[in-house]
Chain A
Amino acid sequence: MIARAARSGWLFWGSLFAATWLLSTYSFQLYKALDARWIVRYPKAWEMPLEDHISAFLDWLVESAGFYFFSFRDLTRAISALIEAPYQVLRNLLVEGFSSGVGDAAVQIAPALSWIAVIVTIMAIGHYARDWFLSVLVGACFLYLAVFGQWESAMVTLASVLISVPIGVVGGLFLGILAYRVSWFERMLRPVLDLMQTVPVFAYLVPILILFGFGPVAALVATVIYAMPPMVRITIVALNSVPTEVIEAGRMAGCRNRQMMWKVLVPSAVPTLMVGVNQVIMLTLNMVIIASMIGAGGLGFDVLSSLRRLDIGGGIEAGLGIVVMAIALDRASQAFAERSARHPLDGNLLQRHPWSGTVFLVIASTLILGQFVPAVQTYPDTLTITTGPFWSNTMEWINVNFFDTFEAIKTVILQWLLLPVKKFFAGIPWAWGIIATALIAWRVGGWKIGLLAALLMTFIAASGLWPKAMVTIYLCGVSVLIATIIGIPLGIWAAESPRAGRVILGLMDTLQTLPSFVYLIPVVMLFRVGDFSAMIAVILYALAPAVRYAAHGLKEVPPPLIEAGLMSGCTKRQLLWRIKLPLATPHLFLGLNQTIMLALSMLVITALVGTRDLGQEVYIALTKANAGQGIVAGLSVAFIAIITDRIINALAAGQRERLGV
């Protein structure tokens, strides 16, 4: 009976939904009728004390763990010192200037780099990486930071980025090389990487705080951990995609292992590796902003403190600073990825190195000039333009004039979409929730994925986080639904009309480079805190992959098939619905998958605007410095991500198989 029902898809999905809906609606009555409270609430007595174990383990690690010659605490202190020293040098270079002595006795030896010197340097980098256009773009971005009074914070952020990126890149490269060379290491590393990319950042902020203490070092450690996994992955992929013949050529030339790696494999893989570097830079920036909560300072801190003060103008200003910086860093590092080796120039030293020469001269001359003309050293305060009041007024004006409209939209969506869905998910009894998830996973991807789903969902229930997990799923589900409804048509439009495509895809590129934190600012200003604001922020953040994959999928449809459709006399609409969209479904699924992953990662950040989901649980753990709580809640989010990822990948694989592509 079950087997037959499973065979006919319609019956399976229909009855699964009906059962879930019935149980969700009448779970309370069921509990009353049977007097079985365990139906609606996971019994406390069955909960695993995993939280306490983790916390106790961390306490032990910090308090008494030791190796033969040094304690664990010595180790973390040594790492701190190792990171702190170069970080301080960079801060001195960019922000504070070098001085000897401490406190009142401090004597300044040399000032920080002048704003002119920094801008010229970044322009030189832009020109070196591509051309004058890029040079002017990145120069303008940094000039913006100076003119709009964000310079000092921006330089603090830049210092953090400059210290984390090399560590992330080099660390990722070496881990990747190790994984390439040693197969068991790769097998071990793979699940760890999966987990690290899905566990929300806040979750490991807590243990890092406990190990390294509040301050910039903890923030940098968290940043490196967050930004390294993609570099490891890309390194493995890049090394594996070096053509066999190139490797054989290296062996026939008589390369030893080390020569093979550094003279053949790594240089051949550089273009792909640079894509990884770009990712590390963008993730680092994203994380540095978030990490301002644990003492990294910089632009993120400005946004956070203005949000707390409800200083709308200040928040937007600092937020725009982050946007500008993200654009500059992204464009410059992308240009490096696309740059190919060039011919060296001829001439004397200065002619061969025009940019290094210029930069050196500018640094030296502003250093000297800055002693006499302060405006050369520091951008004069009198010339800064503040847009804070403008933004505050605009927001006030919008709120005064459109308050009712916004409120109406918000109420309608809350009333007719968010609340019913929330009620549905919150009502599902935990036991049935586990069974239903397992059934879906089994049906789509086979018994292995079904078992995995059952186990992971049981973990969530057993951690006592079931209700919050349901809130997470509901918020994520609604946001993803809306993002898909908006995103796929946009993607289709972008694919069908090249001109619209350039604008839309360009916009999506920019949206994706923005640190997730930035999305919260306008949303909170317009809609204040709550589920609705969280939803809007998640939709904005997660929109890009839905659009991109849809556009990409449509463009990938083989031209002969389109020609065949045209010659069969399809109209434009028929061509889209009958040929292009069906063939693009695997891509659409992948886009959906990415959308869900981004939505989950953003949800945790929206905990800052007051949702009551797993994100909030992680955030509470962060404020209470409860490592166990944070990690368990973080793992729960990761598990939800892993289950959906497996299910959707199975769907996409099935679809690809059906289409034979």
Chain B
Amino acid sequence: MTTPVILDCRNVWKLYGAQADTFLNTNANPSTADLEAANLIGAVRAVNVQIRKGEIFVIMGLSGSGKSTLVRCMSRLVESTAGEIRFEGKDLLSASEEELIQIRRKKMGMVFQQFALLPHLTVLENAAFPLDVQGVDKTTREARAREVVELVGLKGREGYFPRELSGGQQQRVGIARSLAAEPEIWFLDEPFSALDPLIRREMQDEFLRLQNILHKTIVFITHDFDEAIRLADRIAVMKDGIIEQVATPEELVLHPATDYVAEFTRHVSRAKVIRAASVMEPLNGGSFAGEVAHDAVIEAIADPVEASDLPHKVMEDGEPVGQISRKAVVDVLVGRR
């Protein structure tokens, strides 16, 4: 965990209401009751998160939990009421309008829930839009747009208008557009929520495929806990503007910090989350049926481990760090732990 922090939010607040701007000056850390008494809505409250380079950071919460507001504070689409946000070490909140435009042009990309494509532009022109705004000449920007359109699998549809595409295809255009300027950090605001379940699944796979190629730093918003678990390196669970817990999917399932988080994790299929290293036993020097990786999820290794009488060796960096037996796998599969 030595990768550098790229986006650092410290004690970020966003209040809505009549005296939203002055309220925190007199009352540094108001409770839910305080806010209610002052007729304020706390969309984001005392949020501390550090987004590390190259990770997929998922913010999960139900509607009204403030997750969309938080991601808009991070991109300064919404001005925070209080707190500090540092992007690549520089204070984002004190950046001038001009600096902000430059940051957004070069370093940030964003994908929206309702796609937010421009209806009068073709697929290619939509993808080239951020470059057009930067004043990149037509040949260069169209060449780059062709690359990203091909990357998201829409080659051959460059000349289509958004209304001629399905929802999934439209979101591919949204993804292509957000990648055109090669951003450092990639915000995705519920990108797949407006899609049918089957398409959603396909788009999640597509997203993981892209990330394997691109290795972006990603902030991904969702209200779907399964989606969060599928995609995330780390998850922040949000409720009423407060972050309840930030952890890897596995930690979240094994050690939920609050009842609220536990409520979500209760029905999660644990074999998809728990990794071999979490359920392994110390090596006892006996013989083994085979080897498994320490970070493999149980679901992936269940078949061979369960089929053999002998335990499997758990390997990390070429070294055996423990062993895993049939019983441990079955325990996870039937939910005993």
Instruction: Kindly specify which of B16-24, B104-112, B263-271, B327-335 makes contact with the partner chain.
Output: B104-112
Instruction: Kindly specify which of A241-249, A517-525, A563-571 makes contact with the partner chain.
Output: A241-249
**Within the complex, what minimum Cβ distance (angstroms) separates A258 from chain B?**
11
Q: Given A243-B114, A245-B116, are A253 and B105 also a contact pair (CB < 8 Å)?
A: yes
Q: Which residues of B contact A343 (CB under 8 A)?
A: 159
A254 touches B114 (CB 8 A): no
B161 touches A340 (CB 8 A): yes
Instruction: Kindly specify which of B88-96, B129-137, B237-245 makes contact with the partner chain.
Output: B129-137
Q: Given A254-B102, A267-B118, A341-B161, are A248 and B112 also a contact pair (CB < 8 Å)?
A: yes
B163 touches A340 (CB 8 A): yes
A440 interfacial by beta-carbon distance below 8 Å: no
Q: Given A263-B132, A341-B161, are A252 and B108 also a contact pair (CB < 8 Å)?
A: yes
Q: Given A253-B129, A254-B134, are A268 and B108 also a contact pair (CB < 8 Å)?
A: no
A309 interfacial by beta-carbon distance below 8 Å: no
Q: Which residues of A contact B156 (CB under 8 A)?
A: none
A248 touches B116 (CB 8 A): yes
B113 touches A245 (CB 8 A): yes
Q: Which residues of A contact B133 (CB under 8 A)?
A: 250, 253-256, 259, 263
**Which one of B101, B163, B187 has the highest number of Cβ atoms from chain A below 10 Å of its Cβ?**
B101
A653 interfacial by beta-carbon distance below 8 Å: no
Q: Which residue of A lies closest to B75 (CB)?
A: A252
Q: Bits for A20-52, please: 1 = Cβ < 8 Å to B, else 0.
A: 000000000000000000000000000000000
Q: Which residues of A contact B116 (CB under 8 A)?
A: 243, 245-246, 248-249
Q: Given A249-B110, A252-B77, A341-B161, are A268 and B118 also a contact pair (CB < 8 Å)?
A: yes
Q: Which residues of A contact B115 (CB under 8 A)?
A: 245
Q: Which residues of B contact A250 (CB under 8 A)?
A: 133
Q: Which residue of A lies closest to B183 (CB)?
A: A252
**Which one of B104, B108, B120 has the highest number of Cβ atoms from chain A below 10 Å of its Cβ?**
B120
Q: Which residues of A contact B318 (CB under 8 A)?
A: none
Bound together, the chains give a CA A343 to CA B118 distance in angstroms of 16
Bound together, the chains give a CA A48 to CA B8 distance in angstroms of 69
**Within the complex, what minimum Cβ distance (angstroms) separates A271 from chain B?**
8
B120 touches A341 (CB 8 A): yes
Bound together, the chains give a CA A340 to CA B115 distance in angstroms of 19
Q: Which residues of B contact A252 (CB under 8 A)?
A: 75, 77, 104, 108-110, 178, 187
Q: Given A245-B116, A268-B120, are A253 and B159 also a contact pair (CB < 8 Å)?
A: no
A143 interfacial by beta-carbon distance below 8 Å: no
Q: Which residues of A contact B129 (CB under 8 A)?
A: 253, 263
Q: Given A253-B133, A254-B105, A341-B161, are A267 and B120 also a contact pair (CB < 8 Å)?
A: yes
Q: Which residue of B lies closest to A251 (CB)?
A: B77
B286 interfacial by beta-carbon distance below 8 Å: no
B119 interfacial by beta-carbon distance below 8 Å: yes
Q: Which residues of A contact B110 (CB under 8 A)?
A: 248-249, 252
Q: Which residues of B contact A255 (CB under 8 A)?
A: 101, 133
Q: Which residues of A contact B114 (CB under 8 A)?
A: 243, 245
A270 interfacial by beta-carbon distance below 8 Å: yes
Q: Given A254-B130, A255-B133, A259-B133, are A264 and B118 also a contact pair (CB < 8 Å)?
A: yes
Bound together, the chains give a CA A270 to CA B118 distance in angstroms of 11
Out of A246, A248, A254, A268, which one reaches B77, CB within 8 Å?
A248
Q: Which residues of A contact B163 (CB under 8 A)?
A: 340
Contacts A252-B75, A256-B101, A270-B120 known; list 16 others, CB within 8 Å: A243-B114, A246-B116, A246-B117, A249-B110, A249-B117, A249-B177, A252-B108, A252-B109, A253-B104, A254-B105, A255-B101, A263-B118, A263-B133, A267-B118, A268-B120, A341-B119
List the interface of chain A (C-beta within 8 A of B). 243, 245-246, 248-256, 259, 263-264, 267-268, 270, 340-341, 343
Sampled A-B contacts (26; CB under 8 Å): A246-B116, A248-B72, A248-B112, A248-B116, A249-B118, A250-B133, A252-B75, A252-B104, A252-B110, A252-B187, A253-B104, A253-B129, A253-B133, A254-B102, A254-B106, A254-B130, A255-B101, A255-B133, A263-B118, A264-B118, A268-B119, A270-B120, A340-B161, A340-B163, A341-B161, A343-B159
User: Which 10 residue pairs across A and B have the least CB separation, nearest first?
Assistant: A254-B105, A245-B116, A253-B130, A249-B116, A254-B104, A252-B110, A245-B112, A267-B120, A246-B116, A254-B101
